[in-house]
Amino acid sequence: MAPRKLAAGNWKMNGTLAALAEIDRLLADHPQPGCDVLLCPPATLVHAAAARAGHIAIGGQDCHAQASGAHTGDIAAAQLVDAGASHVIIGHSERRSDHGETDIQIAAKAVAAHQAGLVAVICVGETEAQRDAGQTLDVISAQLAGSMPEGATAANTVIAYEPVWAIGTGRTPTSDQIAEVHALMRQRLSDRFADGGDVALLYGGSVKPGNAAEIFAIPHVNGALVGGASLKAQDFGPIIAALSAA
Ligand code: PEP
């Protein structure tokens, strides 16, 4: 089994019910895409989005490690499932920086996601200072080792490589830099997991219609996690098309 191709959108803290019209447009423009498509709207929109998403999968942007309890403001993985989600982003760099999430916490959240039946989209990525210091491969190796639980499989886990300095900045690594990290991730996953060669590896960080095809041509890039350009169907649609054609 080859890794499945996935175009994933992360709406972050953007959008109200009116934004769901973008899903209708995507469905109309891409009735049969040649890749999997996932949108992760804010938690308030997961249920309504799932009700109209057709072939587009809907995911959350975070979940708690516990199944229930006194955790004000948090969301359990089973609650996302109940709302219609099939995926959840775990360990996004904004969660790591805004909420101080550690690899250990992220692995625990991934376990919770798996137990609830969700696919965990686990994010890793170096800061600009770490890249400048030549630490990128060590940082990614450590994050992968620490954030992926033992029960991870190609069916329940997707990895997104998102350099922190490329998110929302309009800056992207060179193709060689992306290729180097993705080759490392594939090797690490194959070393550790029986089906590590089949885990989908996404690139994320300022993916746009104009650079998507070039990025999708890089070895071991099986798709993208897209922030800003996933908010509008007119931007996300061409990215879906580029991945379908890759
Ligand atoms: C992201 O938030 O995961 C992301 C990649 O954002 P952007 O595409 O806006 O850089």
pLDDT tens track for 27-76: 999 999 999 999 999 999 999 999 999 999 999 999 999 999 999 999 99
Report how far apart, in Å, the C-alpha atoms of 168 and of each of 147, 171, 193, 230 are: 23, 8, 32, 12
Nearest atom (ligand 1) to Cα of 224 = 5
Give the number of the atom of ligand 1 that is nearest the alpha carbon of residue 229.
8
* Helices first, then strands: H and E counts in the chain: 10, 8
pLDDT tens, 189-231? 999 999 999 999 999 999 999 999 999 999 999 999 999 999 9
The topology (CATH level 3) of 6-12+20-245 is TIM Barrel (3.20.20)
Indicate the top mutation candidate among 12, 13, 225, 231 to test ligand 1's pocket, ranked by most ligand atoms within 8 A of CB: 225
The pLDDT tens digits of the residues spanning 152-190 come to: 999 999 999 999 999 999 999 999 999 999 999 999 999
pLDDT of residue 225: 98
CA-angle at 22, arms to 114 and 235, nearest 5°? 90
In angstroms, what is the span from residue 162 Cα to ligand 1's centroid?
A: 8
For the chain, domain boundaries? 6-12+20-245
Global pTM exceeds 0.75:
yes
Cβ burial of 51 (10 Å; 0-12, 13-18, 19+) is exposed
How confident is the model at residue 1, as a pLDDT? 73
Q: Is residue 214 among the annotated active site residues?
A: no
Catalytic, 71? Answer: no
Percent of the chain whose pLDDT exceeds 90: 99
Angle 4-35-154 from CA coordinates, rounded to 5° = 15
Atom 8 of ligand 1: nearest residue by CA position: 227
Distance CA 166, CA 126 (A): 10
CA 78 to centroid of ligand 1, rounded, Å:
26
Three-state secondary structure call for residue 214: helix
Provide the pLDDT for residue 157. Answer: 98
Indicate whether 128 pLDDT > 90. Answer: yes
Nearest residue to 172 (alpha-carbon basis) of 134, 103, 228: 228
3-state secondary structure of 226: strand
Q: Whose CA is nearest to atom 7 of ligand 1?
A: 227
- 57, 37 Cβ separation under 8 angstroms: yes
In order of 171, 206, 212, 243, the CA distances from 144 in angstroms are: 23, 22, 24, 25
Beta-carbon contacts of 210 under 8 Å, excluding residues fewer than 6 positions away, are none
Give the HSE-up count for residue 157: Cα atoms under 13 Å, Cβ half-sphere: 28
CA of 227 to the centre of ligand 1 (A): 3
Ligand 1 proximal residues by C-beta, below 6 Å? 10, 162, 167-168, 204-207, 225-229
The Cα–Cα gap between 69 and 41 comes to 24
Calculate how far, in angstroms, residue 11's C-alpha sits from the geometric centre of ligand 1: 9
Count of other CB atoms within 10 angstroms of residue 223? 30
Instruction: Read off the pLDDT of residues 80-123 as tens digits, 9 standing for 90 and up.
Output: 999 999 999 999 999 999 999 999 999 999 999 999 999 999 99
Report, as an integer, the average pLDDT of 231-235.
Answer: 97
CB contact set of 18 (below 8 Å; sequence gap of 6+):
none
